[in-house]
Each structure stands twice: as structure tokens, then as C-alpha cells.
A and B are shown apart, each in its own frame.
Chain A
Amino acid sequence: MIPHEHVIGLSILLFSVGVIGALCRRNLIVILMSIELMLNAVNLAFIGFDRAWAARAIASASALPGAATAATPVDGQIFVLMVITVAVAEIVVGLVIVISLVRNRDSLDVEDASLLRW
């Protein structure tokens, strides 16, 4: 059995690695990948909490007589599917912005994309 805290702990570690990557790197593609890493860490946390919830539902269903095949709650997994959908949309638009930035500035440095800075 994998303890719940270990799943959440791995999620915390991966998320903070993603935050540090998004803060410290200047390459736009690496920043996009760090954002993907953070989204994946959140997905892991969702599945960990969904697993805790399913364990409780299964335990309470087996305590009741007659309710042998209770439906497992899958709300956390539905959340993960939605996060994946939004992540795909985000990465597509992000890469298109990268392509047009390279066309206009000929650079991937975020420091060169400072036209809108006050």
C-alpha cells in the first residue's frame, strides 16, 4: 500500500521544481515545460485525494450489508481529465506564441519580449 502522504509529498516536490524552473529559466520553451510539470504535479495530487476518497467509499460500502457493488467516486479523475484538456489548449497557444516571437524577434529569451512592459 502506498501511503497517502507519500503521493502528496511527491506532488509537492514536483510542483516546486516546476515553480523554480518557471522562475529561473529564460528560455520560453523551458518555461512552458515547467508549467506542464506543475500541472502534472496537480494531477498527481488530484489522483491521490481521489484514491483516499475511494478508499473511504469502499470501506463504508463494505460495512453496509447488501451494498456490495457501490459506485466508486471518480470526481478527482474527472478533474484530471479537465486539467489535461486545458493543458493541451495552453501548450498549443503557447507554442504558437513562441513561433511568432521567434519570427518577429529571432530569439527565445523572455527578456526580449518586453514590448508591453511599462
Chain B
Amino acid sequence: VTGELVLFYLFASLALFSALAMVSFVHNVVAGVISLVVTMVSLAGIFVLLGAEFLGVVQIIVYAGAIMVLLLFVVMLLNLETDDFAPRSRARSLWKLVGSAAAVAFAALLALANRPQPGLTPPISGSIGGHRDIGLALFREFVLPFEVGGLILLSAIVGAVILAKRRVD
């Protein structure tokens, strides 16, 4: 067992545990957001371990930095730290159970199919393409998706401003 594998299991258990904590923190949304930050940072560590250093950095800056701070700002600005909703009917809880059982069955099916493949090349431990390779690919063969991504962000900004604006009469 190499140190790489030990670190992978450490980050993996941390990500899984904090994801479960995020889903099951019933009455504290802020704690849920913080545990999702822990998941994102552990996933960034896993990305670096897998050889995708650039995406590890992007994961920390964009996810753990920008998105989570935005979520935390909204939660704290709206003063919605707790959720004590009125209980709903028993039939709905039953459907929740059915949906969760379906999700678990789907995961089990995928996990059964996820076994070592004989024809696959054994894994490597170095980089799998740094910022130079990604930049060249992004501005050569993938330049159209790149531009479309810019358009998506622009329309998201415009939509957010229009929707969040208070109506002034």
C-alpha cells in the first residue's frame, strides 16, 4: 500500500462522511454548507492525487471559494439557519423511502458493473495533462464549447439581476 493510496482513502472517507453530514443535518443549514465545503476540498485533493492538478486548483477556487461563499451569503442574508417545516403526510414519506431505495438499488447496480477490466491499462501516477495541455485543447478543438460557456455565464448574470431586482413602483 503506497502513500498515494492511503491519502486517496483518507480524502475519500472525508468526502463521503461530510456529504452524508450535509444530507442529514436536519436543522442547521449553515453546518450543511460548511460540510459541503469539506467535501469539495477533499475532492480537490483527490483530483490532485489523480494527476489533474489544474482541476484541483479550479475546484478549490470556483467551488470551495466562489459557489460556497455565495451559498453561505444567501443563507445568512435571508436569516434561514434553521428549517422547522410542518410535518407532511405519511404517503409522501413513503414515496421518499421508495425513491431512496431506488437510488440505492441504482448505486448497487453500478457498483456491480464496476469491477477490474482485463483489457485496461494499469493506472499511472504522474500528471494526466496540466494547464498547458488543457489550454491548448480549450482554444483549439474545444473553442466553440468555450464560447458557448461564456454565453451561458452571461445569460445567468442577466437572469440573476432581472430576477433578484426589487420592483420599484
Contacts and interface: CB of A to CB of B under 8 A. Distances in A.
Given A5-B114, A54-B128, A111-B88, A14 B137 contact: no
Given A1-B2, A91-B71, 6 more contacts: A10-B46, A54-B51, A56-B120, A82-B149, A96-B164, A108-B80
B134 A74 contact: yes
A58 B129 CA distance: 11
B10 interface: no
A29 B75 contact: yes
A37 B18 CA distance: 11
Interface string A43-79: 1100110111011101100000000000111110110
Interface in B115-152: 115-117, 120-125, 127-129, 133-134, 137-138, 142, 145, 149, 152
B91 interface: no
Interface string B32-54: 11001001100100110111101
B78 interface: yes
A69 to B, nearest CB: 11
Which bracket fits the contact residues of A? 35 or more
Interface of B: 2, 4-5, 8, 12, 15-16, 19-20, 22-23, 29, 32-33, 36, 39-40, 43, 46-47, 49-52, 54-55, 58-59, 62-63, 66-67, 70-71, 74-75, 78, 80, 83, 85-86, 88, 96, 99-100, 103-104, 106-107, 110-111, 114-117, 120-125, 127-129, 133-134, 137-138, 142, 145, 149, 152-153, 155-157, 159-160, 163-164
Nearest to A19: B103
Nearest to A4: B123
A35 to B, nearest CB: 11
Nearest to B77: A99
Contacts of B104: 16, 20
Contacts of A18: 19, 23
Contacts of B116: 3-5
A77 B134 contact: yes
Given A13-B16, A111-B88, A88 B43 contact: no
A78 B136 CA distance: 11
Given A23-B96, A81-B58, A86-B152, A59 B121 contact: yes
